[in-house]
Structure 1
């Protein structure tokens, strides 16, 4: 289907974080926007005026393409074959190890592609998956997802992160060998699992050294547990304080901050703010795994200190994590629903105008963040929600998804709510392959 060369989305309600400084206000809300799309890319974003013509969104809420910052495609959609599951993180790890005998090329490819299909329809343009890497040898899933990334490159950017236990990295030669393999892999980064059950300072130091030498981004599972004194994050900061580390470090989970003494936790966040660190919270998995015991209502839910992190200008993201596996037997690949759970569990204020960036800011996963994030010049990838009410979002998740100026979802769902006209080209697209 040919793209319309010039397109206009008019009267769009964009979040405050996405608008340039000096954008006019209408009462307590920013003025509605007209987005000019030229040949599938955003040409300009300006305040709407009365005689603007195009696709009138009548104040509908609009976000750029969504980011799934933390997923596990090697584990996904396996819960149906795991049998009775015992509660807690370490039990989930053991359950997934027992399932790895089923991880053939076809099994991994098909389950991961199902996830990408789901994410794509929900508006995801970038998905970062962690891949279990438990020996010096490259895992099969790494190769499978490399092939899948090539197949899906025009629809969802799939990035791989090696999830390596610290004990393996005590061998400096292996840590260097793995880092070199990752550097030579397309669109790939290095990570590690840092937990009191496997903590080794030497392994962490070797990991950081290997990442630094290969100029990779580091993406960690760290302190994913409820302990009074976080172990991984202080050790990470001690190492970083003693050297110059210029790449991005992503710290996922950091549940221990939620039950540490508040003065200790806040001092750690003050230190985090001095480094190129992004936090990622995973509400669904943390709510299900932390303080989990059969027949007992959990008391501590494990959500890291997201509000305090944002107050310190620490980039803070929300992601889905596991879907229908031993770690989380529910869910789907939808960052909006992950954020909705985060809003409830974390008491996040101004979800659309402030917190929506936690599921859109791909630059927060890069080495350098974009302080003046702009739509102009980027592909016209948008998610348009079936609501004008900022206060209700993200509880209403019915949406239209636009890719490169074309809607890939059925536009008829909006006609009943908005005085909206869609061009003939804005019909459901079932296959862009």
Structure 2
């Protein structure tokens, strides 16, 4: 019996087929024998690699993947996707849940990076456990409804804030354990690693199973500060995740120092760097030298195009000349693991955003000209960020959990032309409620009457 996809959420079957689907070839598990893309899509004019398939969903997992040319030989319910796309659920590996949803309380007066820092710092006075819980929970509800299955958030940790923020994070991690995998990174200025308090911070991060991090920009003693962060991480078995070179200063080369430090210390943990904007304004040979170092060192990069485009090269009354987005195609060419993420949402660093990885992918493809062909870029919001987080998710394959996002869109043009508000999110085989939280819920939290 073939049914329209709209019946799936109401029926909530445990054993069924998703028929006539199109899967991104880049997100297909290599262990899956079905490897034939649709020739007419992979060829001009579309230049898109999709796999035509039926998915058998049983007991929360993908039981089998069959070619779309076949016909299931059982009496299970069949939901016809009409060639609609099916993606694995998303991973968002760089967010700021603790800052999120504060725009109306502490807006950025001129949209610049400097003003964002001032506004965010001033907002810290409101950061009680109750305030953080309400806003961070709101962000997680958005992520979940949009189809995300794992989130890494950075937490501001200056002046003892880590005690409150990590405790709230841990509470949320436990509450969301059956729906979202959550990780936290401490966020401090790198000169914090000159202080004796850095030991205590590292201990707190280790206590909560977090990641050590910091904001890297040119300053005296930077190399020693980065080395100190590595030493503290080594001693506690922690990974590292830095904000690196978030500016248009070509002399900002923290990314290079991180790679060199990882190689020199033979650091065995995962090292990730976010932003890396200055690469975009450096001389080609210098930038390529750094890219080669990243590859050798095994340092991954996460790009935040929406936030960087919002902040970088902003001057009142003047059209920005530079995008501030790192070298996405070049990172791929040098085989550096590169992900895309949402970053700030509705705070002083970015007035917009909704923790929606479809929007992130949509805007990133346009900003970075990542299509023609789209190639492996679907991995940048699925498999690659999952690997950065040390997770084995973000692929579609037999035996894997049925954590999927189903679209009516049948190709890249249709996917990126609309916001996909009618997507169906399937978690462990069950279509979830994708109703987003109402902004009015935050009125009392942010002081709106």
Classify the TM-score, shorter chain: 0.7 to 0.9
Alignment match, 1:24: 36
Verify the 8 A CA contact 2:294 2:336 in the aligned structure 1.
yes
Q: In the TM superposition, what whole-angstrom CA distance separates every residue of 1:57-84 from its partner, at most 9, and x where no partner exists?
A: 1211111111111111111111101256
User: Contact 2:95–2:342 at 8 Å: present in 1 too?
Assistant: yes
Per the alignment, residue 138 of structure 1 pairs with 162
8 Å CA contact 1:15, 1:353 repeated in 2? no
Aligned twin of 1:70: 94
Check whether the contact 1:12–1:34 (CA below 8 A) recurs between aligned residues: yes
Shift in Å, 1:88 = 2.2
Change (3 A) 1:183 1:241: same
The residue aligned with 2:113 is 89
1:73-128 Cα offsets, whole Å, 9 max, x none, are: 11111110125613322321111111111111111111111111111110011111
Give me the whole-angstrom Cα distance separating, in 2, the residues matched to 1:301 and 1:314: 21
Are 2:340 and 2:381, in contact at CA under 8 Å, matched by a contact in 1? yes
Instruction: State how far apart, in whole Å, the 2-side matches of 1:105 and 1:304 are.
Output: 35
Aligned to 1:157: 181
Equivalent residue number for residue 206 of structure 2: 183
Distance 1:306 1:429 in 2: 31
Note if 1:104 corresponds to 2:128: yes
Q: Distance in 1 between matches of 2:97 and 2:221?
A: 25
| Correspondent of 1:45 among 65, 72, 90 | 65
Displacement of 1:137 in angstroms is 6.5
Counterpart in the other structure of 1:415 = none
Asked if the contact 2:239/2:269 (under 8 Å) is kept, the reply is yes
Structure with greater helix share of residues: 2
1:405 paired with 2:429, answer: yes
Q: Equivalent residues in 2 for 1:23-422 (5 A)?
A: 23-29=35-41, 30-52=50-72, 54-83=78-107, 85-135=109-159, 138-171=162-195, 173-186=196-209, 188-196=210-218, 200-349=222-371, 353-361=375-383, 362-366=385-389, 375-398=397-420, 399-409=423-433
Query: Number of paired residues?
Result: 410
Find the residue that maps to 2:413 and give its secondary structure: helix
CA gap 1:199/1:95 in 2 versus in 1, 3 angstroms: farther
What SS is found at the alignment partner of 1:148? helix
Distance in 2, matches of 1:61 and 1:198, equals 50
Give the counterpart of 1:6 among 11, 15, 23: 15
Distance, in Å, in 2 between the alignment partners of 1:253 and 1:271 is 17
Q: State the shift of 1:166 in Å.
A: 0.8
Q: 1:210 to 1:46 in 2, by over 3 A?
A: farther
Q: Deviations over 1:184-229 (max 9, x none)?
A: 214x211111012576221110101111222222111000001122
RMSD: 2.5
Distance apart, 1:378 and its partner CA: 2.8
CA contact (8 A) 1:281 1:304 kept: yes
Segments of structure 2 that go 5 or more residues without pairing to the other structure are 1-9, 42-49, 438-449
**TM-score, reference length from structure 2:** 0.85
> Per-residue deviation at 1:373?
5.3
Structure 1 CA distance for aligned equivalents of residues 188 and 327 of structure 2: 25
> Does structure 2 conserve the Cα–Cα contact (< 8 Å) formed by 1:246 and 1:276?
no
